[in-house]
Structure 1
Amino acid sequence: MGLTRLTHKRESGMKSGYWSPNRKEELVEKLADYEDLEEQGKLLKPPCAAGDTIYHVCIPKNDEPQIIEMKVGCVEPCGAIRNYKGTCEVWNVYAETDYTKAYFKFFDFGKTVFLTGEEAEAALKEL
């Protein structure tokens, strides 16, 4: 079952924002559904989406800590499993550069993975 949008972006250029042909009752009901899910902890909000740029603070062996700018390839909100050197690992975000790839968990965000270069620079200074 896919998402049925109740709102649409304005295309006229005269006004910005969204519009809807639906009745107010339908819109309020849909908003209430989302608020209920959020209150119940059932509304997943991944920290990034495919195509986003993220910044990974890493410490290579025998080298200085560095920031690697990466492009998100895919996001698995419920997690996916990969076999790495005979061990199963759960990951949520796959990202890559021209020379490397990495798998991250959502809880890596704000610790070693950041959404802005500034956040990554601040974390690097704290190492």
Structure 2
Amino acid sequence: MTKKEAIHFLYQIADEIRSFLDKTSSPKGQWTSHKRLEALSMAISALYDLFQAEEDGRLIIPPCKVGDTVWVITGTAIKLCTVDRIHILGNGQVQIRAKYFVTDNIYLYPDMFGKTVFLTCAEAEAAIEARKGGKE
């Protein structure tokens, strides 16, 4: 089953559940089945949006994952950071939040890797040396 077929199948299931729920009543003031179905529909829509972004080439897969260590060049210093969160924005762009020290956050994007963000300390040090030598 392809991703597109899976999403279509999920939409069909949600429609069948909605049809069933329209025929029954739910207790008021509780996390009702209708609210759960609405949340499921929102999740399916988000999944479809991700699928479309991937198909259109708008979704960029980050070169790291949560928990990875990255080295970020800030000026002439290298900051050791831990990837804390990866967030996909509405336009398919990926935002990466990394922590340095305990509470400080820095926001990164995939196109920064290899320029100011590196997966190894050696790569970051080589980039700083290249800058010092006048090579970018």
In structure 2, what is the Cα distance between the partners aligned to 1:42 and 1:112? Answer: 22
1:79–1:91 CA contact under 8 A, matched in 2 = no
In structure 1, what is the Cα distance between the partners aligned to 2:117 and 2:90? Answer: 17
Equivalent in the alignment of 1:117:
121
CA distance change for structure 1 residues 46 and 91 in 2, over 3 Å: closer, same or farther?
Answer: closer
SS of the residue corresponding to residue 66 of structure 2 reads coil
Q: Tell which structure's C-alpha radius of gyration is larger.
A: 2
Equivalent in the alignment of 1:74:
85
CA deviation map 1:66-88 (0-9, x unaligned): 111100001124469xxxxxxxx
1:114–1:120 CA contact under 8 A, matched in 2 = yes
SS of the residue corresponding to residue 68 of structure 1 reads strand
2:61–2:94 CA contact under 8 A, matched in 1 = no
Give ranges in structure 1 of 5+ residues lacking alignment.
4-37, 60-64, 81-89
Aligned structure 1 segments of 4 or more residues deviating by more than 6 angstroms: none
Alignment of 1:53 with 2:69, yes or no, is yes
Aligned length: 79
In structure 2, what is the Cα distance between the partners aligned to 1:94 and 1:52? Answer: 11
2:88–2:94 CA contact under 8 A, matched in 1 = no
Overall identity of the aligned pairs, in %: 36
TM-score of the pair, normalised by structure 2: 0.48
In structure 2, what is the Cα distance between the partners aligned to 1:118 and 1:78? Answer: 31
1:93–1:103 CA contact under 8 A, matched in 2 = yes
In structure 2, what is the Cα distance between the partners aligned to 1:42 and 1:91? Answer: 10
Equivalent in the alignment of 1:86:
none
In structure 1, what is the Cα distance between the partners aligned to 2:61 and 2:98? Answer: 18
TM-score of the pair, normalised by structure 1: 0.51
In structure 2, what is the Cα distance between the partners aligned to 1:79 and 1:40? Answer: 14
Equivalent in the alignment of 1:101:
105
CA distance change for structure 1 residues 116 and 79 in 2, over 3 Å: closer, same or farther?
Answer: farther
Q: What RMSD over aligned residues (CA atoms) do the two structures have, in Å?
A: 3.1
In structure 1, what is the Cα distance between the partners aligned to 2:101 and 2:80? Answer: 10
